[in-house]
Each structure stands twice: as C-alpha cells, then as structure tokens.
C-alpha cells in the first residue's frame, strides 16, 4: 500500500458531502394549494440545519417529505445520494430518527418498550436492546430504576420528550428529523432540554434537521438557519449572518429577539 495523498482528499470531501439534498422540491395538496414551492436545500453530513418560520410556512411539510410521510409533488430529495423514491420507505424511516412536538409515545408501552421500539423492529438480541435502553436513558437523564417501567401518562412533559428523543436515537440513525421537539414544554424545561441536547455527544456526528418557530432555539442549536415563509425558503444563514440579515422575515425574527432583550434591561 502506498500512501496516496488523494485518499485523504477524498475522505475530507466525503465528510462534507450532503446527507440530505432537496432539489426543486414542491408539494401541493390534492386541492391544488401549494404548501412548498421550489425548495433547494443541501444539508451537509454532521450539521444541524434549523428551519425557522411561522406556523404554516411549510417547515413540517419539508420534514415529512424527507422521510416520505408525504410524497413529493415535484422535484427530488436525495438521502445519502439516493433519491427517496428509490429507498424502501420503511428502510428509509429506520435510517432517519423522527421526533415530533406531540411526542407520540405509545400510551400502552412502558418507557423501556417505547425506547426499544426500533431495535425490536430490527430484531436486535434482547441483551443488546437492554444495554442500549440503559445507555440511552442515562444519555437523556432518566434514572432507569425509577422510570424504566413507567407508562407515558406517569411522566411529566419534559420527561416524555426525553423518552421521545431516546426513542428516536435508539437504533443510532445517522439522520435526525425534529419537528418542534421542545415546543410543548414550559420555557424553563425547554431551556434545560435545549442545553442538554446541545451537549449530547451522540449527536455530534448526526445530520439534524430541526424545525422551530423559536428564534432563540434556532440560534442555540443551528449550524445554519433556513428561514421559511409561505412555502418558500427566503434565506439560509449561519447564526452570525442571521443576526445581521436584511431579508424582511429574518430581520423580523431578529427584531423580535431584540425586543425581549430590551425588555430584560428595563428598570
């Protein structure tokens, strides 16, 4: 084996390749109403792209097109270079973790059964599943002794969302889609979870698309922020660029943020 310098070039190139690519993506309802128009986004492997926008801007629709909960009206979505239409939808979704605001824990399953859902579908051996559940509960800060056999209705909102995140991470999917994951929580719990989430080491190498209408969350968690309005991507920025963006919707979000900052310093 010769030490070929082109190897490392190739490696670096590969790490920066898009994990998710949306090309000219449109989605319209059967009645013809367009929810997404001509969306072009490339999400680099390992980054956290935040989609920020009002309710109805098309953010959740974009996520659901990525894991094929909805079918494209036009355009192409590539996951790891392969069109979603060429993926088996079940296989595609197992490759992508999914967290939603309503969490959607199974009320008839315990915490353990909820978290181990995908590993069980994938028929992992029982001891591996048990070890993974313990690992994940530790990761999201839930004591196994106390919570393993509880049902969702016996948990607080924050605890439920922790279980929801653990469930999405269970089979270690390389991609994670998060639809308002902290949206239903009170501000303090929301902040705690955001901070913990930001520090989760298991997430560092994951490609994450996170949808929110919370500008603070976008700045805290995003490596890039895509601003959406009425089904169109109106701009895409690094957090730093975002703060000085002149595009009206982005600027409105920044103004909104500043309004709260000013309110804080009033005597």
Partner 1 sequence: MTDLLQFFSRHHREILQGTLEHIWLVGIAMLLAVGVGVPLGIVVAKRPWLSKPILGGANIAETIPSLALFGFLLPVPWLGGRADRLAITALALYALLPIIRNTSAGIAHVDSAVRDAARGMGMTERQILLQVELPLSFSTILAGIRIATVLTIGIATIAAAVGAGGLGEFIFRGLAMVNNQLILAGAIPAALLALGADFLLSLLERRFRPVRT
The residues that touch partner 1, with contacts defined as CB under 8 A, are 67, 69, 90-94, 98, 100, 102-108, 117-118, 121, 151-153, 160, 164, 167-168, 177
Give the ranges where 49-99 is alpha helix by DSSP (H). Answer: 59-66, 89-94
State the nearest-atom distance from the C-beta of 154 to partner 1, in Å: 9
Determine the 3-state secondary structure of 44 from DSSP: strand
* Region of 103 on the Ramachandran plot (φ > 0 left; ψ -120 to 50 alpha; else beta): left
Nearer to partner 1, 53 or 152 (CB): 152
State the nearest-atom distance from the C-beta of 69 to partner 1, in Å: 6
Sheet bearing 18-28, strands edge to edge: 34-44, 18-28, 74-79, 82-83
State the nearest-atom distance from the C-beta of 152 to partner 1, in Å: 5
State the nearest-atom distance from the C-beta of 23 to partner 1, in Å: 23
State the nearest-atom distance from the C-beta of 227 to partner 1, in Å: 25
State the nearest-atom distance from the C-beta of 188 to partner 1, in Å: 21
**Torsion (CA) 221, 226, 229, 231 in degrees, nearest 10:** -110
Q: Nearest Cα to 171, choosing from 83, 69, 80, 98?
A: 98
Nearer to partner 1, 102 or 186 (CB): 102
Nearer to partner 1, 160 or 206 (CB): 160
Residue owning tokens 């001891």: 127
Distances (CA, A) of 254 to 52, 140, 238, 242: 12, 31, 13, 8
In degrees and rounded to multiples of 5, residue 43 shows phi and psi of -105, 115
Nearer to partner 1, 30 or 107 (CB): 107
Nearer to partner 1, 103 or 140 (CB): 103
Nearer to partner 1, 159 or 249 (CB): 159
């Amino acid at each position: 084996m010769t030490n070929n310098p082109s190897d490392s070039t190739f490696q670096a190139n590969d790490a920066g390749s898009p994990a998710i690519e949306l090309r000219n993506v449109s989605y319209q309802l059967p009645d013809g109403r367009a929810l997404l128009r001509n969306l072009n986004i490339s999400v680099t492997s390992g980054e956290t792209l935040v989609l920020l926008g009002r309710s109805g801007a098309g953010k959740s629709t974009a996520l659901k097109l990525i894991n094929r909960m909805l079918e494209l009206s036009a355009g192409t979505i590539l996951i790891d270079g392969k069109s979603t239409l060429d993926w088996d939808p079940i296989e595609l979704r197992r490759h992508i973790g999914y967290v939603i605001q309503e969490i959607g824990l199974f009320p008839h399953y315990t915490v353990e059964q909820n978290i181990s859902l995908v590993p069980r579908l994938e028929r992992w051996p029982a001891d591996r599943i048990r070890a993974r559940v313990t690992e994940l509960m530790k990761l999201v800060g839930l004591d196994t002794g106390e919570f393993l056999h509880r049902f969702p209705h016996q948990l607080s909102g924050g605890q439920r969302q922790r279980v929801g995140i653990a469930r999405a991470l269970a089979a270690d999917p390389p991609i994670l889609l998060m639809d308002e994951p902290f949206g239903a929580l009170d501000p303090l719990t929301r902040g705690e979870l955001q901070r913990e989430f930001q520090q989760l080491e298991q997430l560092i190498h994951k490609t994450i698309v996170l949808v929110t209408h919370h500008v603070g969350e976008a700045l805290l968690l995003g490596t890039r922020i895509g601003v959406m309005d009425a089904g169109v991507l109106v701009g895409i920025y690094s957090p730093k660029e975002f703060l000085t963006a002149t595009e009206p919707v982005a600027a409105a979000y920044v103004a909104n943020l500043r309004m709260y900052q000013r309110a804080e310093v009033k005597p």
